[in-house]
A and B are shown apart, each in its own frame.
Chain A
Amino acid sequence: MTRVRVLIRPKTGILDPAGQAVERALPVLGFEPARNVHVGRLVELDVDDPSRVPEMCERLLANPLIEDYEIVPAS
């Protein structure tokens, strides 16, 4: 089995209110302001055939209309 990580984030250009909320919250806590904050999801899975993961992303794990995904092999 191969451990795979899929990072899913809102597509560029789509307003991300969760990211904006984090941007607003950081200075309130005394942190330096952060920009371009985006909040997404992490899906981790063990698979026999990692070559099928892109199809899994297209059909289920992400909605390609509104989300970008990135497949990262986990060590």
Chain B
Amino acid sequence: MKYGVVRFPGSCDETDALLAAERLGEAVLLWHTDRDLSGVDAVIVPGGFSYGDYLRVGAIARFAPIMREVERFAAHGGLVLGICNGFQVLCEAGLLPGALLPNLSLRFVCRQVQLEVQRSRSKWMRDVRPGERLSIPAKHTTGRYWAPEPVLDELEAQGQVALRYAPGSNFNGSSRDIAGVCNHAGNVLGLMPHPEHAVDVLTGSTDGLKVLTP
């Protein structure tokens, strides 16, 4: 298994994502101007503030040369995981439904959250069972998942809601407690919490590895 971790100017979690992926396989960094994916089996779009998040979170990164390759890769069933800013980028790129809005509190929040694994089409999180709880940190200002009500109904009906915040963990005000969604094919997953920060007992949880395992 070879992971590619995209690095945009302003990314800040790509090194942790790389180190986390190296616990599961081979991992390489991909630069935002790259025009090929170096033959990776899975792409991680990491957290941070791509291109300064100017204009709107994820809005500029979506037009990076590497994203054209990521879109092509995803269209052919390639595994893509967007974490935090990566999730925002994938939503802006139209690879995932919905959008991320400012937290209801308008504050940056950094805390451990409990996630409930849903029965879903996701091709990531191979070894988890629906109902299982994962303990993973979240840290963001713009993480309130939103989509129009009919879209939310459709996502639930189609098994595209992959993760929900457990009771008491939805600090950002996400619609229907949604923490992570996948596309209809299941190969593209996005979530606001950071699995790459939960890969070692030293920092309290290794549940992140379960998310990173396709």
Q: Which residues of A contact B (CB under 8 A)?
A: 10, 14-15, 17-18, 21, 60-61, 63, 65-66
Q: Mark B157-197, 1 if CB is under 8 A from A, else 0.
A: 00000000000000001000000000000000000000000
Main DSSP-derived SS at the B contact region: loop
List the A side residues contacting B105 at CB < 8 Å: 17
B104 contacts partner chain A, Cβ-Cβ < 8 Å: yes
Which partner residue on chain A sits nearest B147 by CB separation? A65
Indicate if the CB atoms of A66 and B99 lie closer than 8 Å: yes
B101 contacts partner chain A, Cβ-Cβ < 8 Å: yes
Indicate if the CB atoms of A63 and B99 lie closer than 8 Å: yes
How many A-B residue pairs have C-beta atoms within 8 angstroms? Tell me. Answer: 29
Q: Which residues of B contact A (CB under 8 A)?
A: 55-56, 59, 63, 92, 98-99, 101-106, 146-148, 173
19 more A-B residue pairs beyond the given contacts A15-B101, A66-B146, with a C-beta to C-beta distance below 8 A: A10-B101, A14-B101, A14-B146, A15-B104, A17-B102, A17-B103, A17-B104, A17-B105, A17-B106, A18-B102, A18-B106, A21-B106, A60-B59, A63-B56, A63-B92, A63-B99, A65-B99, A65-B147, A65-B148
Could you jot down 15 A-B contacts, CB within 8 Å?
A: A10-B101, A14-B101, A14-B146, A15-B101, A15-B173, A17-B104, A17-B105, A17-B106, A21-B106, A60-B59, A60-B63, A63-B59, A65-B98, A66-B99, A66-B101
